[in-house]
């Protein structure tokens, strides 16, 4: 059994998520996260300011335009856009954010993480839901193992 960090467990206890950074290119990591969360039963809404629809679902231009309650936001954007996603999330009362990162910077920026800390928003820095939503594919199990040994996953 895989140990799931408490902050990940709390994030995934939500039911309705936004994935910011989905693309018209279905091969992008944000799209894989979007599809996985959908496939395991979450209500998931895509955000991309340049696409009216992705993965056959209406896409929203920003987090503030998503209707209804949002339990968490998964940020899978360029790090330069992540602070704006955090500000949008805070403006609508979202208190859980997960910054995707495997190798390199991922979606993490110091400004975005500081904005979360300043506004009492729980933020996960590193990894992604695909490493914790069962069933976890072999590629994400291996990546989780490797990144965990490098101290790049939530603890």
Domains of the chain with bracketed CATH = 6-149 (3.40.50.720)
Residue 102: pLDDT band (50, 70, 90) is: confident
Average pLDDT estimate for 123-152? 90
Average pLDDT estimate for 52-61? 95
Q: Give this prediction's pTM.
A: 0.94
Please determine, for residue 2, whether its predicted confidence score (pLDDT) is greater than 70: no
Check if the beta carbon of residue 44 is closer than 8 Å to that of residue 56.
Answer: no
| H or E segment to which residue 152 belongs | none
Tokens 């056959």 — which residue? 56
């Amino acid at each position: 059994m895989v140990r799931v960090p408490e902050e990940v467990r709390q994030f995934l206890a939500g039911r309705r998520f936004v994935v910011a950074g989905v693309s018209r290119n279905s091969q992008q990591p944000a799209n894989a996260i979007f599809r996985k969360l959908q496939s395991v039963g979450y209500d998931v809404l895509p955000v991309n300011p340049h696409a009216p629809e992705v993965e056959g679902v209406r896409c929203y231009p920003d987090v503030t335009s998503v209707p209804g309650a949002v339990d968490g936001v998964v940020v899978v954007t360029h790090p330069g856009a992540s602070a704006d996603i955090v500000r949008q999330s805070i403006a609508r009362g979202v208190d859980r954010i997960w910054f995707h990162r495997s190798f390199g910077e991922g979606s993490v920026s110091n400004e975005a993480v500081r904005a979360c800390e300043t506004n009492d928003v729980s933020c996960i820095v590193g990894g992604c839901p695909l490493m914790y939503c069962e069933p976890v594919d072999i590629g994400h199990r291996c990546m989780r193992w490797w990144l965990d040994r490098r101290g790049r996953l939530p603890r």
